[in-house]
Amino acid sequence: MEMKEQNLFHILSNLIPLSLLLILLVIKLVLMELSLFHNFSNLIQSSLNLIFIIMQLVMMELNSYHKLSISILLSLVLILD
């Protein structure tokens, strides 16, 4: 039973950062499309970039099977800037 709980925790700890990155990527893409509030969206995009960098540093510390997919997502976000 203890092994199952550890596996579940490991899976959840890997999926949560990945899902957060996907949500932030969608937010960033929507903000890129909004040109009406240009100054406000620039402020939000720069803060999202900071969040992405922090999450990348956190993921470097975690042993994760999703490192490749997360690094691809982060690269995509930085390219879109």
Q: Note the pLDDT tens digit of each residue in 28-64.
A: 777 666 655 666 666 677 777 777 777 766 666 665 5
Q: What is the domain extent for residue 64?
A: 2-80
Q: How many domains does the chain have?
A: 1
Closest CA to 31 of 19, 45, 20, 21: 45
DSSP state letter for 81: -
Report whether pLDDT(15) > 70. Answer: no
With 60 as the cut, is the pLDDT of residue 70 above it? yes
63 φ, ψ (degrees, to nearest 5): -90, 110
Q: Which pLDDT score is estimated for 26? A: 74
pLDDT score, position 52:
73
